[in-house]
Amino acid sequence: MELPNIEYRGNISKDILAKDDYFREIHYFKTSEDFIDEQSYSKFVKEVERLVRTNPDYKVYVDYIKHVLGVDFCQVFSHVYDKVDATIELHHGPIFSLYDICEIELQRFIMDGLRINVFRVADSVLDLHFNMKVNCVMLTKTVHEMAHNGDLFLNQNIGDVASYIRDRHRYFTPEIRYKIWNYYQLAKDNPSFDRGVLDLETVKTFIKAGGVEND
């Protein structure tokens, strides 16, 4: 099938060239130069996030948490169960949003010189989910909205956050490091119900190494 005004060049770099503009190419694999523009960078990360959410494996992961791990209830209101009292949704947090996780994986691909496209980065993010390295909480829709609005402090978690920070800390942007540090400061003043998974004392050194100092 031919797409109008599009020519597939068929070389190993997998470039697509617009027939009406031979100075404009679309590269299948991206380079760090493609992310100099902030708008292009953000658009790429959002597309990775969209691919993750719409991938059939993502639903498998959510079903695994509900039906294998048995977390089919709201972790804030534990008496509310999935499809009995309300629909229970997966929330990425309390520290890293899904956008954050996708951005960190993109930074890893850039810094390690890996071949970059949205599919490869999205697959890596999905692998992190199935390896239980992604922080997430199961919430009702109402509580989920409150979490996104910053109306409550979450101290529950599914996923080994400490291990994730140890594995990925060198790819954190300064904004991500401050986000972790701010959560650490809040966590000191709030009791935790996560059996130590969010005990960031174990990874505080990695955050300070990026320029975030203790107060």
**Per-residue model confidence as pLDDT tens for the chain (215 residues):** 344 444 444 444 444 444 444 434 445 678 777 888 889 899 999 999 999 999 999 999 999 999 999 999 999 998 999 988 889 999 999 899 999 999 999 999 999 999 999 999 999 999 999 999 999 999 999 999 999 888 888 888 898 888 898 899 999 999 998 888 888 877 777 766 555 656 656 666 666 655 554 44
Q: What pTM was estimated for this model as a whole?
A: 0.80
- For the chain, give every domain's residue range: 1-30, 31-209
The DSSP secondary structure of the chain, one letter per residue, reads -PPTTEEE--STT-EEEETT-TT-EEESSB-GGGGSSHHHHHHHHHHHHHHHHHSHHHHHHHHHHHHTS---B-SSSTT-BBTTTB-EEEEE-SS--HHHHHHHHHHHHHHTT--B-HHHHHHHHHHHHHTT-S-EEEEEHHHHHHHHTT-S-----BS-HHHHHHHHGGG--HHHHHHHHHHHHHHHTS---STTTT-GGGGHHHHHHTT----
